[in-house]
Structure 1
């Protein structure tokens, strides 16, 4: 005698569960090595591909714009970009760009205080982010921006 089981809509094959778990983990946090200086379009596509899961188009656009400004600044003003990192929090999405120029923060402080000696990249960050800042130690500097949550 053969027993047939009804299709359980809540039971997924193990391979699908592993793929979904990997996708959710990838959406929660990730990082991109910038030491080889990938092209800005590559960086934008990489970030958008990881964050587009369950996100409005406008929120994704602002996030990619802010990341683009942070990465561009690391490329242009430090010459030593290291990594782009994103982390989802309950309060929003944290973007961090780290470089190997820990003492180049005078311009950042001036922009934060409303003085613009150079371009408008961090002004865009200021107007789009909930908050942003700089953390540095003896070896590196990280410029971070906290953006509103990315959900529908």
Structure 2
């Protein structure tokens, strides 16, 4: 496995986590906002659905833009690994460099890191807190929306 392949898998996984958190957050908030608007305005079920869909259509791309999805690259992953993973010991940039640009010491370190990531997949070390927060927000939004509907506010 090439070093850049290790980081490429990390990029895909990081971006998928951002997309998942965006979808969960915006779907939950869209439902909650449309139900809350029903308290103050006389909205039919169709109106609430349209409001929820509109929030989803605008909110998801906005969330992804704000989260810098397009700026996640190999350097982002390498920097994160350097800061958070002691096994990398600040050497993750050897995974970014091309094979012919490495000196013998860097090649050895790259092989060690590749072996480490073969045994311990990179996705295990990437942040999952935003996804957990998004699940929590989604569940709270659904519960609040259900309460609004059930109590008929």
TM range (shorter): under 0.3
TM-score by length of 1: 0.26
More helix as a share of residues: 2
**Structure whose CA Rg is larger:** 2
TM-score (norm 2): 0.26
Instruction: Answer 1 or 2: higher relative contact order, Cα 8 Å, separation at least 6.
Output: 2
